[in-house]
Structure 1
Amino acid sequence: MSGAERPRLVIRPRKMRLLAWVAAVALLVVHVAVGVLLRISETGVYFRISDQVALVVLGLIFAGLALLFIRPRVRVLDAGLGVRNLFAETLVPWDHVLAISFPETSSWARVDVPDDEYVPMMALSAMDGQRALDSIRSLRAAVDEHAGSAPR
C-alpha cells in the first residue's frame, strides 16, 4: 500500500482507543506497584530484584498488547478501502467492495467482498454508538461514489 496516497476519509474508533489507553496505564501502574512493593514484607518467600524487574517488564508487555487496540482505522483511498485492524492492514479494491454491513449481533462493521466473505472493520465499533453510524453513512457514500464511477 502506498504511503504517499492521501486518504479522502479516515475513520478511527473513539471509545476503544480511550479504553485501550486506560487499560495500558492501569496494567503498567499495577505491575510497577506490585514490583516495588514485592520486597516490603516478609512472607516467607524471598523475592529478588530480578523478580521485581520481571514484573515491570510483564507490565510493559501487557500494556503494549492493550495498546494494539489503538491501531484500528479505515481509510478511503483511490485504490480502495484500507482496513487496518490489530495486526495487519488490508487494501480492499473498489471492485471487490460489495457492501458495508453492520450485523445486529456484531461488535464492529464489515466490508462484504465476493464469495460470501468479509473483512471486519474494528474501527467502526458498536461501542461508539451514533458516531459509528455517522461514519458508516460516510463510508457507504464513498462506496456508492466509487461504484458509480468504476466499471463492474
Structure 2
Amino acid sequence: MSDRPTDNREQRTAMQEQTMTEIGQLDYRPRKSRIGAWIGAVVALGGFTALSFTLGAQTSEGGTVTWADQAGMIGLGAIGAGIALSFLRLRVRADAKGIEVVNVTAKRFFPWQVVTAINFTDKMTWATVELADDDEMSIMAIQVSDKERAVAAIKHLRALLEQSRS
C-alpha cells in the first residue's frame, strides 16, 4: 500500500509534464455575449420595423408620415442591429508564436516575447493582456459572464505564456 501513493504522484507529475509540453492552440469565442448580440440585433431591427408601421399616416402636428420615414426607421433598426452584431467579432487565438486579440474595433497580434502577463481578477469584466512596454489591451472575448469557460481559457493562455518562456 505504501508504494501506491508514490506511483500516483509520479503518474500525475508525468501527466503534468506531458500536458505542459503538448499545449495546443486556443481559439476562444465568448458564449453569452454572442447570444446577447443576436438578441439585441433582433430586438433592434424588429422593434424599429414594428415602430415604422405603427407611426400612422399623420403626426400630432398635422405632418404626414411617408414611406421614406418608414424606411428611415427600418434603417435605424438595421444600424442598431449592425452595432449589436459587431460583438460577434470577439475572439482570442493563441499558439506557440503568440496571442491574437480581436475586439469590437481592433485586431492585434502580440508575440509571447512582449507579453508579461494575462490578467483576469474577480473585479474585472474581461481579461487583459499586459505588455512589456507597460501597456495593456483588453481581451473582450474572455468575459466574467462565461464563468468556467473563461477561467479555462485564462489557464490555457497562461500555460501557453509559460511554455513560451521555457
| Same fold by TM-score greater than 0.5 | yes
Q: Structure 2 counterpart of 1:110, which letter?
A: T
Residue in structure 1 matched with residue 64 of structure 2 by the alignment: 46
Equivalent of 1:126 in 116, 124, 144: 144
Check the 8 A contact 2:57/2:66 in 1, yes or no: no
Secondary structure, in 3 states, of the residue corresponding to 1:99?
A: strand
Aligned to 2:135: 117
Which structure features the higher share of helix residues? 2
Which of the numbers 32, 40, 44 marks the counterpart of 1:27?
44
Q: How many residues align?
A: 142
Counterpart residue type for residue 50 of structure 2 = A
2:129 and 2:136 in contact (8 A); partners too: yes
Structure 2, unaligned runs of 5 or more: 1-23
- AA partner of residue 106 (structure 1): M
Residues 68 and 96 (structure 1), Cα distance of their counterparts in 2 relative to 1, 3 Å cut: same
Tell me what 1:10 maps to: 27
Instruction: Specify the SS of the correspondent of 1:119.
Output: strand
Q: CA deviation at 1:115?
A: 2.7
Q: Quick check: 2:58–2:64 contact (8 Å CA) kept in 1?
A: no
Residues 101-147 of structure 1 show CA distances to partners (whole Å, capped at 9, x for unaligned) of 01332210011101321111001001111111111111111111112
* Matching residue's letter, 1:35: S
Q: Which moved more, 1:118-127 or 1:35-44?
A: 35-44
Rg (Cα) greater in structure: 2
- Whole-angstrom distance in 1 between the partners of 2:105 and 2:115: 21
Q: Map 1:65-76 to 2 at 5 A.
A: 65-76=83-94
SS at match of 1:92: strand
User: TM-score scaled by structure 2?
Assistant: 0.80
The percent identity for this pair of structures is: 37
Deviation at 1:41, TM superposition (A): 7.0
Asked if 1:92 is matched to 2:110, the reply is: yes
The answer to whether 1:105 aligns with 2:112 is: no
RMSD: 1.6
